[in-house]
Amino acid sequence: GAVVSQHPSRVICKSGTSVKIECRSLDFQATTMFWYRQFPKQSLMLMATSNEGSKATYEQGVEKDKFLINHASLTLSTLTVTSAHPEDSSFYICSAQTGDFQPQHFGDGTRLSIL
Amino acid sequence: GIQVEQSPPDLILQEGANSTLRCNFSDSVNNLQWFHQNPWGQLINLFYIPSGTKQNGRLSATTVATERYSLLYISSSQTTDSGVYFCAVSDTGRRALTFGSGTRLQVQP
């Protein structure tokens, strides 16, 4: 149980393209999902907390107009990287939690490469 | 925010050896998880252990919440154990995880 599906797993696109990444909780409802980013040889850093039916909460330094997050249902959150540039190339990974005092379950991540 | 420190940063073992990875955190936590990140980037959830001791096969973990540390034990290591091990915590009042910098483990045949 507690499976999180993330698509696509890999994206290669040209600079200026917008890219949408989906995160789905397959067998549970998640009122809160999280988006993390990982640069090569580094740890994971929280980008934003996504709450179903409300605006996402972004970490300091993360541009909310560039990284659009939508959490339209209890099983789906999307991250859209708008007008992506090479510096946005990174590994993006989402997680979901069934409730307080429960573990977070992670998707398999999306490797984004902007040429 | 909460600080998470992992040690050692790098570890090289011969197959069959045992090891202990440590995670120190700076504040009270309501969530602590250990992950193994494989070469493809997948985060494998090893333990959800905000306190106490758990075992799963060759792996075990102990969290002493009052002293703000957690330990991950790997026994009889195998080459497939290679990768990066992360400790991640969330402090009280916050659900998002803060990750440590990781321990990069290489198990040689």
Q: What is the DSSP letter of A28?
A: S
Nearest CA in chain A to B30: A101
Asked whether the beta carbons of residue A109 and residue B43 sit closer than 8 angstroms, the reply is: yes
Asked whether the beta carbons of residue B33 and residue A103 sit closer than 8 angstroms, the reply is: yes
Nearest CA in chain A to B49: A103
Q: Determine contact, residues A113/A89, Cβ cutoff 8 Å.
A: yes
Q: Determine contact, residues A97/A30, Cβ cutoff 8 Å.
A: yes
Pairing relationship of beta strands B10-14 and B103-108 according to DSSP bridges: parallel
* Candidates A46, A49, A106; nearest CB to B43: A106
Q: What pLDDT is recorded for position B76?
A: 98
Whether A109 has its CB under 8 Å from any CB of chain B: the answer is: yes
Using an 8 Å CB-CB cutoff, list chain B residues near A102.
48
Q: How do residues A9-58 score in pLDDT, each as one tens digit? A: 999 999 999 999 999 999 999 889 999 999 999 999 999 999 888 889 99
Using an 8 Å CB-CB cutoff, list chain B residues near A93.
41, 43
Asked whether the beta carbons of residue B96 and residue A44 sit closer than 8 angstroms, the reply is: no
HSE, CB side, 13 Å, CA atoms: give it for residue A23: 33
Q: Determine contact, residues B49/B70, Cβ cutoff 8 Å.
A: yes
Asked whether the beta carbons of residue A44 and residue B45 sit closer than 8 angstroms, the reply is: no
Asked whether the beta carbons of residue B42 and residue A44 sit closer than 8 angstroms, the reply is: no
Render each residue's pLDDT in chain B as its tens digit; 109 residues. 899 999 999 999 999 999 999 999 999 999 999 999 998 899 999 999 999 999 999 999 999 999 999 999 999 999 999 999 999 999 887 889 999 999 999 999 9
